[in-house]
Amino acid sequence: MTAHLLDGNALAQKLRAGFKQKAEILAAQGVRPGLAVILVGEDPASQVYVRNKVNACAQAGFHSEKYVFAADAAPAEVFAKIAELNADPKIHGILVQLPLPRHFDAEAVLDAIAAEKDVDGFRAENVGALMQGQPCFIPCTPYGAMKFFEEAGIDLKGKEAVVVGRSNIVGKPMAMLLMHAGATVTVCHSQTRDLKAHCQRADILVAAIGRPKFITGDMVKPGAVVIDVGINRLPDGKLCGDVDFQSAKEVASFITPVPGGVGPMTITMLLANTLESAERALGA
């Protein structure tokens, strides 16, 4: 068996074409979807992520603004900018690029974003609403991962799902979305006892642990759907996921690659949430 590839680049392109059409319709009504991105510090990876998000906005016909603060900036400066953007009707989504410097309370910064503009879905209020199945916005990475099941016609009802990685950004929201879709979910981490056995019974296996090639082919149930959320840089500079792609693809039925899998979908769903926020603003 060789798994079918869940191509994030292709799905992202398809969805973004639709977003551009919707943005044009909104623009004709006097509203242009607007995203503001805040970057603190000079982390090279963060700079790339921010640049990609700004470029994606331009391609979709969205308005975007970028605000860059020095790594030693006072938190009060960032809070003041967030307050300004909360009140700006041209901005429908606000994103603070993580990680933040150590002298910042990241949770407090994220919670300062108005709920109706929290297009990353990271506010505690939003996460709590997701638990009840009524989120204002779904966190972008899990949202993008769920789109693969929809596109491939994979019914999650009654399926056994295992999420390896329990972070508030990916692991827990992913588990909640899978549960709301009808799957039975187990959340594990790298030190979970009998982790291999848990993985081997999963119809849906999601790796979001941040360790290169941690999930190997012998941990995958034959015919499972494997979603690799991880992105790691190897010593030779190449990127890889948390799944050993070469061995896992010989066992799985569907699998996402790295790069070109969940990554492009994360930015795509950021656009989706920003568009939705703009539509709500127009409706209001």
* Confidence (pTM): 0.94
State whether residue 152 is helix, strand or coil.
helix
Question: Residue 206's domain is classified under what CATH number?
Answer: 3.40.50.720
Is residue 149 located within the same domain as residue 259?
yes
Q: List the strands of the sheet with 160-164, edge to edge.
A: 4-5, 254-255, 225-228, 204-207, 160-164, 184-188
Q: Which residues lie closer than 8 Å to 44 by C-beta, 6 or more apart?
A: none
Residue 284 in this model has a pLDDT that exceeds 60: no
Choosing from 53, 147, 159, 213, the catalytic residue is 53
Percent of the chain with pLDDT over 90: 85
Is the residue at 6 inside a domain?
Answer: no
Is the residue at 91 inside a domain?
Answer: yes
Question: Residue 82's domain is classified under what CATH number?
Answer: 3.40.50.10860
pLDDT value, residue 168: 77
Is the residue at 18 inside a domain?
Answer: no
Segments forming the whole domain that contains residue 84: 32-115
Give 237's pLDDT tier (boundaries 50, 70, 90): confident
State whether residue 247 is helix, strand or coil.
helix
Is residue 149 located within the same domain as residue 95?
no
Q: Decide if 120 is catalytic.
A: yes
Give the chain's radius of gyration (CA, Å): 19
Choosing from 81, 97, 118, 159, the catalytic residue is 97
Give the pLDDT confidence of 126-178 residue by residue, as tens digits.
777 887 878 789 999 999 999 999 999 999 999 999 999 978 788 999 999 99
Alpha helices in 139-170 (DSSP H): 140-152
Q: Decide if 97 is catalytic.
A: yes
Is the residue at 269 inside a domain?
Answer: no
Is residue 146 located within the same domain as residue 250?
yes
206: closest CA among 238, 159, 250, 246? 159
Number of H helices, E strands in the chain: 10, 11
| Biggest alpha carbon–alpha carbon distance for the chain | 57
Asked whether 163 and 206 are in contact (CB, 8 A), the reply is: yes
Asked whether 204 and 227 are in contact (CB, 8 A), the reply is: yes
Is residue 77 located within the same domain as residue 176?
no
Q: Decide if 88 is catalytic.
A: no
Is residue 98 located within the same domain as residue 159?
no
Instruction: Output the known binding site.
Output: 165-167, 231
Number of domains making up the chain = 2
Is the residue at 55 inside a domain?
Answer: yes
Choosing from 81, 117, 118, 120, the catalytic residue is 120
* Beta-carbon count within 10 A of 271 CB: 26
Average pLDDT over residues 59-77: 97
Provide the β-strand partners of residue 93: 35
Is residue 71 located within the same domain as residue 182?
no
Is the residue at 256 inside a domain?
Answer: yes
pLDDT value, residue 252: 98
Is residue 111 located within the same domain as residue 145?
no
Average pLDDT over residues 35-45: 93
Instruction: Output the known binding site for NADP(+).
Output: 165-167, 231
Is the residue at 70 inside a domain?
Answer: yes
